[in-house]
Amino acid sequence: MPDRADYPLPDDPLLAAVAAAMDETGQWAWVVDDEWRLTFVTEAVRYTYAGGTGAMADFAIGRHVFGPESLELARTWRFGPNSAELMARILRGLGGWLLTDMGGAEALRSVVDPELWPVVDELSPRDEEAITFVAGGMGIARQINPIPCAALRLRRRDGRLAGMVMIPRTQATMAQSAFASMFDLGHLGRVQQVAVPDRRPAALLFADLEGSSMLARRLSTASYFAVGRRLVRAADQCVIEAGGIVGRHVGDGIVAFFPAETAGSESAAARACIAAARSLRSALSEVAVRSDLEPSSVSLRFGLHWGATLYIGAVSSAGRSEVTAPM
């Protein structure tokens, strides 16, 4: 097998072109050749199956996609089809093609992992050029998520089979994906960079609304909520523009992190934290004006802190994900 640390494009020009197109557009995709050997897996798949840890999941490139080596590595994945049961779902979806291409059940049974042999007996030959099916993947809360998949035959100019590309779809709908695309990608990259909890030198910014109780008594519930929403949006924007990471929002309290790891150096992290605080202070007057309040009514108390050995990382569940540090 090639070095799994670096997955080059397939040698076959057609498969290479498909693999490059899938990878460059950020698709989840697996590419196999006409003998059902795995030739390429996109970076998006590898990153996702590793659980967003910053590492990349390993695949048995050059081996049968349902062979023993493939299932052995699947069990090391944090997410995705990381068990024989979940790989069996994919085999059920694609198995009609395999049965046709491999020349029957006995030939197919000779190359797939023995744990998948019972599935072979369920299969019937298929000859469509494209099929859809629902596979499954391990989710963040250890639940099995349904994963719709499309698979396309890849043929040469003379009609000979070159291979197949399987394109799983994220569980999110297009509307949900469009909503997610509104978030800042640079910030997302920084979050991913510190997703795995570890000791990290970082600057911290704390801020909370001064006189919030009095303000809440003066305003209607809807108006007070609107002030809080505008304040949080302004704070997040200032933190993101300064190169920081948005932390926890608790009521009108704001926490942000500026790790040296993402800033490039400790001094750069400290400067970014100070810049974000100054920027947020300047933004308060606009929050007040948009809320029909006097500028003096919207004031923040700030705290800036340097932690040389902060333990920073992401805490994720099925409902949310946030970067935090024990205080």
Query: Average pLDDT of the chain?
Result: 88
Written in H, E and C, the secondary structure of 117-138 is: HHHHCCCCCCCCCEEEEEEEEE
Q: pLDDT tens, 173-192?
A: 545 454 445 567 788 788 87
Q: How far apart are CA 85 and CA 63, in angstroms?
A: 19
Residue 313 confidence (pLDDT):
84
Residue 213 confidence (pLDDT):
85
Q: How far apart are CA 16 and CA 9, in angstroms?
A: 5
Q: At residue 13, does pLDDT exceed 90?
A: yes
Band the pLDDT of 20: cuts 50, 70, 90: very high
Q: How far apart are CA 77 and CA 64, in angstroms?
A: 18
Top-level class of domain 13-175 = alpha beta
Residue 210 confidence (pLDDT):
87
Q: What is the pLDDT averaged over residues 48-64?
A: 86
CATH topology of domain 183-324: Alpha-Beta Plaits (3.30.70)
Q: Where are the domains of the chain?
A: 13-175, 183-324
Residue 178 confidence (pLDDT):
46
pTM over 0.75: no
Residue 125 confidence (pLDDT):
94
